[in-house]
């Protein structure tokens, strides 16, 4: 099962406070453990503060752009990993081993990623073929 692990933002991450050398070293060791265990196969990155981002809001056929920063810090993401795990319990155990991302109060959210079989009959053979073709194309570009 693939999971997206979301490190929630706080006032410091939104202010652009960079992690200490010690935290970077601790996270580096943790990421090495994840890679060696075959858990982190896909990605793991920190994100710039929302002040450097934008949102596109959809309302029917209309689109509007909202520039950051965004007000609700607790709803924002400061970083993420994408892991391959056996199940949610394994993801939880790995997150519990993570160095505290901010050194203070931190929240890490675990969200399973939809797989093709989750969509049932709605994902027709043609749509499944398209999905497989796109994944193959992305893999070639890496």
* Domain membership flag for residue 126: no
Q: Where are the alpha helices (DSSP H) in the chain?
A: 11-14, 21-36, 88-96, 125-141
* Domain membership flag for residue 137: no
* Domain membership flag for residue 141: no
Q: Which domain range does residue 81 map to?
A: 2-117
Pseudo-torsion of CA 96, 30, 44, 72, nearest 10°? Answer: 50
Give residue-wise pLDDT tens across range 80-119.
Answer: 999 999 999 999 999 999 999 988 889 999 999 998 889 9
* Domain membership flag for residue 95: yes
What pTM did the predictor assign? 0.87
Residue 76, Ramachandran bin (φ over 0: left; ψ between -120 and 50: alpha; else beta): beta
The pLDDT score that the predictor gives to residue 41 is 72
* Domain membership flag for residue 122: no
CATH of residue 15: 3.30.70.1060
* CA 75, 78, 84, 89 torsion-angle sign: negative
The pLDDT score that the predictor gives to residue 124 is 93
CA 103 to chain centre: 20
């Amino acid at each position: 099962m693939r999971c997206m692990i979301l490190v929630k933002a706080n006032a410091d991450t939104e202010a652009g406070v960079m992690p200490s050398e010690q935290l970077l070293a601790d996270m580096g060791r943790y990421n090495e453990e994840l890679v060696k265990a075959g858990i982190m196969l896909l990605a793991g990155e920190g994100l710039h503060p929302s002040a450097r981002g934008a949102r596109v809001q959809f309302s029917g056929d209309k689109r509007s752009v909202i520039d950051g920063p965004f007000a609700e810090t607790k709803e924002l993401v400061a970083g993420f990993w994408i892991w391959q795990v056996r199940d949610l319990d394994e993801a939880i155990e790995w997150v519990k081993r993570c160095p505290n991302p901010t050194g203070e109060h931190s929240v890490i959210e675990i969200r399973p990623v939809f797989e093709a079989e989750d969509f049932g009959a709605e994902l027709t053979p043609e749509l499944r073929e398209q999905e497989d073709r796109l994944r193959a194309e992305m893999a070639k570009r890496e």
